[in-house]
Structure 1
Amino acid sequence: MTTPQDSLAALRYPNFRRLLTSSASASFAGQAFSVVIGYQVYQLTNSALALGVLGLCSALPSLSLALLGGHFADRLDRRRILLVTRGLLIVAALLFAALSLAGPSTPVAGLYLLVVMMGFARGFGDPASSAFETRIVPQSVYVNASAWLGTVGQVAGIAGPILGGALLARLGPSGLYLIMAVLYGASWLALQRMPPVPPPAPRSHEGVRASIEAGLRFVFKDQVLFGSMALDLLAVLFGGAISLLPIFARDILGVGPAGLGVLLAAPSVGALLVMLWMTRRPPLRHTGWWLLVSVGGFGLSMMVFGVSRFFWLSLIALAWSGIFDGINMLVRRAIVRTRTPDEMRGRVGSVSLVFIGTSNEIGALESGVASHFLGVVRATVLGGLVTLGIVGFATWRWRDLTRWELRAEYEQS
């Protein structure tokens, strides 16, 4: 029997180790992409608004398909869905590499179209991924598995941008896109080694529309589930400034592509530290308050980053934003996994991904538009202030969330 304090619980399952390998490879590829695409588009356009449009190109297909992807994740072999969508990501990375051979003449519209292609793959793949992990470990290990997946993601978030920035400076965009294709290929192979893990039999045979509506109703009627998703959405939508880092790196801090990689890695350093801590000591008591405090701390960190003119201070502020975001991520994942029945995990996961995708990609558009009109510094500081206001609203509005404790979920399971 495992306990919440057994830090190696999830690693005792061979299929979870394979999933962890696949997730690590995909995470490294995603981090390489986050370095190259933003810097490349900004180099080609010199426009903050262009970075915002980049977020929109990623958001529209992934968000429009996520709910449909959640339906199929609850009906089909989730592993097979992941194999198909990871295969599409390999193709997209190879096309990015070919297109970028044009150098300064690379068509930005072509880059946008390939980002849309990746968004379609994410729309179907992400719901299956979030539902798949709960089929290969028992419920008592969900939080530990989530912490390990988060830890691996943060390791990738540290090493990936640093290596990506250095390789971008040395190899250029085409070379980095090829490395991204190899990493997605490694992720595909790790999934291929796993046996099929079909989803549970659905309790009803409703159509696609009814199935999606059932998932939405389930989320919106649960104040803890909905409140945690909405809080993250609103906070990152207005408070996040990751999409603006290419501007800070080149125009404000003057550190170039290598420095951009370090800036992108800084939040993951903080998140990794807190994830490793929480593999042993998850927040079992006052968990809802941990979530609210983490979001408020994230907003404050981004305000400090916005006004900083020193590279070292910017790194510290971003690292603290990662610490708070890591707490937020673990608590939010714990809420989704412990409060969702297995036959609805794909649909609930897809709703969560819509919230997350809206906050990240639409947040990138919001940041780009705000920076275009207000300037990048004022837009970043204002976003942090709005985040603090959102925390105050959530404390007043979602009382069940403030009272929620992870310990009670373990006692009921």
Structure 2
Amino acid sequence: MGIEKSAVKHDPYAVLKIPEFRLFVLARLSLTLALQIQSVIVGWQIYDLTQDPLALGLIGLAEAIPSIIVALYAGHVADSTSRKKIIITCVLVLLVCSSALLVYSFNIHQSMAVLGTIPIYSVIFLSGIARGFFGPATFSFMPQLLPDKTWYINAVSWSSTTWQGASVAGPAIGGLLYGFFGVQASYSADVGLTLMALLFFFLIAAKPLPENTQRLPIKESLLSGIRFVFNNQVILSAISLDLFAVLFGGAVALLPIFASEILHTGPQGLGFLRAAPALGSVAMAVYITHHPIKIDAGKKMLLCVAGFGVCMILFGLSTNFYFSLLLLGLSGVFDSISVIIRSTLMQTLTPEHMKGRVSSVNNIFVGSSNEIGSFESGAVAKLMGVVSSVVFGGCMTLLVVGITAFKADKLRKLNL
């Protein structure tokens, strides 16, 4: 690569000097922008058409179910098939989904009268399948772009920064496009950005699969990732902490209701609310890139997840738009630390030939928890009310942190 390994220890930008990693970052940036724009528009459109909080929760469920169903097989495929081919195929499917939403958005009210929201949920279901395969493939493909493991923390930090940065811009862009130019312009931007991601991924050379001394039957291969995670207390406890915190603590699915009925803003305000957590996350990710977390990483992770729960409780009680933005931004700061620590642990502790399968287990427990958490939020909001739902979720997050801190002593004592 022409880059000294020791540079990683001193240069926070060292990994960006690798041309293929830069293409990977640009591809993730483009695709994440597209998906965030799509998420904002679909959420606002569904609530505008149905006025039902449960309908918002069903968006997450429609994406999570197929992702969970294919997860284990997707991990097996990522460890036995060209990872670049999987990524290209998934992005092509996502491009079809974006195009379908754009087409359906024309004469939406006439289409709704005949077909209802079923086509929208069907497209989200298909995209869930693609994202179920995309996650393990990209998780295991990224390390192949690096010289060795000494680059992992730097790469994970920049990958997280890129994702979070796109998550800052994506919702704001989506809300502004929807508010000022309409739904067709928003979905057109979604399609264009997905095309850009496809091009960037295409320009990265395919990599050979890591050597694997174990040739397992497909059933054993599917189960080996689960066994690896459940036999590693540090990875298991980190995944479990994030799972339950996001499952109970997230309020993203209900933001259209907060924007419309509690904070009294339009789609533009919704875009900023959606962007606030990611803005906090990207700020913290950039900081961690320059100042990696090493000492008391486990304790800091536990404290930050607790801080996330407190932010959710206060957000649920807030009726001030700017205070709500601040709380969501702080929740992103806390969440970023947890994500980077967990991702670094998984990359470092997982053998190369098992990264796809271990990532698939992570996607089942954490990757889909956002979508399942969206359904949980919508369902609880239907039963208890919107504010009570968010406050309840934050309290459950604090309970999970307490249990994890008591039970998972290895995580509590973790240093990186």
Aligning the two structures, in what range does the TM-score lie when normalised by the shorter sequence? over 0.9
Letter in 2 for 1:75: S
Q: Residue 386 of structure 1: which of 385, 392, 396 is its match?
A: 396
Q: Map Cα deviations across residues 187-228 of structure 1 (whole Å, 9 max, x no partner).
A: 010011111112212221112211011111000010000000
Alignment of 1:244-259 (within 5 A): 244-259=254-269
Letter in 1 for 2:140: A
Q: Could you tell me which residue of structure 2 aligns to residue 198 of structure 1?
A: 208
Q: Residue 410 of structure 2: which of 400, 404, 410 is its match?
A: 400
Alignment of 1:152-167 (within 5 A): 152-167=162-177
Q: Could you tell me which residue of structure 2 aligns to residue 409 of structure 1?
A: none
Alignment of 1:108-119 (within 5 A): 108-119=117-128
Alignment of 1:84-163 (within 5 A): 84-105=89-110, 106=112, 107-137=116-146, 138-163=148-173
1:235, 1:295 within 8 Å by CA — same for their partners in 2? yes
What is the alpha-carbon distance in structure 2 between the residues aligned to residue 161 and residue 281 of structure 1?
28
What is the alpha-carbon distance in structure 1 between the residues aligned to residue 202 and residue 8 of structure 2?
30
| Structure 2 residue 326 is matched with structure 1 residue 316 | yes
What is the alpha-carbon distance in structure 2 between the residues aligned to residue 37 and residue 314 of structure 1?
22
SS at 2:106's partner residue?
Answer: helix
What is the alpha-carbon distance in structure 1 between the residues aligned to residue 278 and residue 61 of structure 2?
24
Letter in 1 for 2:132: G
What is the alpha-carbon distance in structure 2 between the residues aligned to residue 104 and residue 174 of structure 1?
14
Q: Could you tell me which residue of structure 1 aligns to residue 380 of structure 2?
A: 370
Q: Map Cα deviations across residues 113-143 of structure 1 (whole Å, 9 max, x no partner).
A: 0000100101111110111101111211111
Q: Residue 218 of structure 2: which of 204, 208, 212 is its match?
A: 208
Tell me the TM-score normalized by structure 2: 0.96
Q: Could you tell me which residue of structure 1 aligns to residue 39 of structure 2?
A: 34
What is the alpha-carbon distance in structure 1 between the residues aligned to residue 368 and residue 199 of structure 2?
30
Shift of 1:386: 0.7
SS at 2:307's partner residue?
Answer: helix
- The range that moved more, 352-361 or 320-329, is 352-361
Letter in 2 for 1:369: A
- The range that moved more, 56-65 or 95-104, is 95-104
Tell me the TM-score normalized by structure 1: 0.97
Q: Could you tell me which residue of structure 2 aligns to residue 220 of structure 1?
A: 230
Shift of 1:323: 0.2
Q: Map Cα deviations across residues 335-377 of structure 1 (whole Å, 9 max, x no partner).
A: 1111111110011111111112332111111100100010000
Q: Could you tell me which residue of structure 2 aligns to residue 178 of structure 1?
A: 188
Q: Residue 357 of structure 1: which of 367, 370, 394 is its match?
A: 367
Alignment of 1:67-82 (within 5 A): 67-82=72-87
1:126, 1:353 within 8 Å by CA — same for their partners in 2? yes
Q: Residue 248 of structure 2: which of 234, 238, 243 is its match?
A: 238
Identity %: 38
SS at 1:288's partner residue?
Answer: helix
- The range that moved more, 136-145 or 351-360, is 351-360
What is the alpha-carbon distance in structure 1 between the residues aligned to residue 173 and residue 59 of structure 2?
23
Letter in 2 for 1:21: L
- The range that moved more, 363-372 or 153-162, is 153-162
2:277, 2:328 within 8 Å by CA — same for their partners in 1? yes
Q: Could you tell me which residue of structure 1 aligns to residue 3 of structure 2?
A: none
| Structure 2 residue 341 is matched with structure 1 residue 328 | no
Letter in 2 for 1:292: L
Query: Which ranges in structure 1 are unaligned for 5 or more consecutive residues?
Result: 407-413
What is the alpha-carbon distance in structure 1 between the residues aligned to residue 170 and residue 61 of structure 2?
23
Shift of 1:102: 2.1
Shift of 1:173: 2.1
What is the alpha-carbon distance in structure 2 between the residues aligned to residue 30 and residue 143 of structure 1?
25
Q: Residue 290 of structure 2: which of 280, 292, 296 is its match?
A: 280
Shift of 1:64: 0.8
| Structure 2 residue 71 is matched with structure 1 residue 66 | yes
Shift of 1:148: 0.7
Q: Map Cα deviations across residues 24-81 of structure 1 (whole Å, 9 max, x no partner).
A: 0011001101210110100010001111111110001011111111111011110110
What is the alpha-carbon distance in structure 2 between the residues aligned to residue 234 and residue 358 of structure 1?
11
Task: Work out the number of aligned pairs and report it.
Answer: 406
Letter in 1 for 2:23: R
What is the alpha-carbon distance in structure 2 between the residues aligned to residue 123 and residue 156 of structure 1?
20
Q: Could you tell me which residue of structure 2 aligns to residue 411 of structure 1?
A: none
What is the alpha-carbon distance in structure 1 between the residues aligned to residue 222 and residue 242 of structure 2?
22
Shift of 1:3: 3.7
SS at 2:11's partner residue?
Answer: coil
What is the alpha-carbon distance in structure 2 between the residues aligned to residue 373 and residue 5 of structure 1?
53
| Structure 2 residue 75 is matched with structure 1 residue 83 | no
| Structure 2 residue 271 is matched with structure 1 residue 271 | no
